[in-house]
Structure 1
């Protein structure tokens, strides 16, 4: 099956109407993870673990164990689902930016990341770093380091010791051309 941009879905992934489904075998058990294409949240909508179709088939665990559950890479599943939603044109702006920001190296990428951070601060999230880490499938330490670096590079501004709550002129310059999208999203650029 292909996405709207003509790319093949990765092995184990398929579309079923408005659902993006990931299926895999996990130590002999069948794992099915369902994400809704139009969901307002980032993660899967459901996760099912079923035994093999043959009740006498051998499985490598003694039922559904904590070890079996820990072997499920939800971060990888979430990351792939978000990338596929973006390719299918069914993502929110946050998911689209997330696909771009798996690595933050250029000034523009720091400005994009800073804009998302400020948007969350302004929406009143108590821990915007945790929210970004969860949404982007990255560690909290990675996001925290990027936010500190963005502030040190002059992309974020705010009271010392408090979350940065506005973008700098430097960040806005790197985001020029995004003004129409910012207006649609509530003007998170601090103007």
Structure 2
């Protein structure tokens, strides 16, 4: 794969220290985030995430000895080095930046905006629609995506989805793949048809 490193400042972004942004190909859009972490004894870890993956965690973690001498000193990559990869911190950065990049590069994939206060049945039907759309797109953490996009806490986004369900606008369904799915009710579809 011929990756091209991108300058985040071109997009008005300043990534956290140690993080870089790449396109899949020359002239492409932002697609890959890579963070570099020192794991000791002359070794470092690269944590990679793909912006359009159907999940928000790393897609690859690689521990590398910077020199042959470093590898000889530690006798190669050790369990301690692997444990030293700060995956929690990496996931936090990835989640924040993947949502931000998706919203700017692929706004059609981001949750639709909501009114400042979600109160009416129509507002809750819109919440239900976004939840279903994200689930259908394979998003494993729809509540987090919605919270990030709407600038609210995860608890607030979760409460809105719960209220939509309690109002009879959203049905949670089982799935043969072991993952839950969701479906709009007729009442929600009727409320949303009023927009058309």
| TM-score normalised by the chain length of structure 1 | 0.53
Alignment of structure 1 residues 95-134 onto 2, 5 Å: 96-97=110-111, 106-107=117-118, 112-119=126-133, 123=136, 131-132=141-142
Please state which structure has a larger fraction of its residues in strand.
2
- 2:171, 2:183 within 8 Å by CA — same for their partners in 1? yes
- 1:97, 1:112 within 8 Å by CA — same for their partners in 2? no
Measured after TM superposition, the shift of residue 144 of structure 1 is 5.4
- 1:27, 1:68 within 8 Å by CA — same for their partners in 2? no
Change (3 A) 1:157 1:97: closer
State the alpha-carbon separation in 1 of the partners of residues 104 and 137 from structure 2.
30
Change (3 A) 1:65 1:147: farther
2:192 is equivalent to residue 172 of structure 1: yes
State the alpha-carbon separation in 1 of the partners of residues 44 and 107 from structure 2.
27
SS at match of 2:105: coil
* Corresponding residue pairs, total: 159
What CA deviation, in whole Å up to 9, does each residue of 1:101-152 have, x standing for no partner?
9xx973188655422322356x498xx8x652586799xx957544213334
**2:165 alignment partner, one of 151, 157, 166:** 151
Measured after TM superposition, the shift of residue 69 of structure 1 is 6.2
Show structure 1 runs of 5+ residues with no match.
180-191
- 1:2, 1:8 within 8 Å by CA — same for their partners in 2? yes
- 1:82, 1:91 within 8 Å by CA — same for their partners in 2? no
Q: What RMSD over aligned residues (CA atoms) do the two structures have, in Å?
A: 4.9
Q: Which residue of 2 aligns with 1:8?
A: 14
2:34 is equivalent to residue 21 of structure 1: yes
**1:51 alignment partner, one of 65, 82, 90:** 65
**2:83 alignment partner, one of 68, 77, 87:** 68
SS at match of 1:168: helix
Larger CA Rg, structure 1 vs 2: 2
Q: Which residue of 2 aligns with 1:35?
A: 49
What CA deviation, in whole Å up to 9, does each residue of 1:49-100 have, x standing for no partner?
22344517998xx92249816741153143134134236515761xx339x8
SS at match of 2:15: coil
| TM-score normalised by the chain length of structure 2 | 0.52
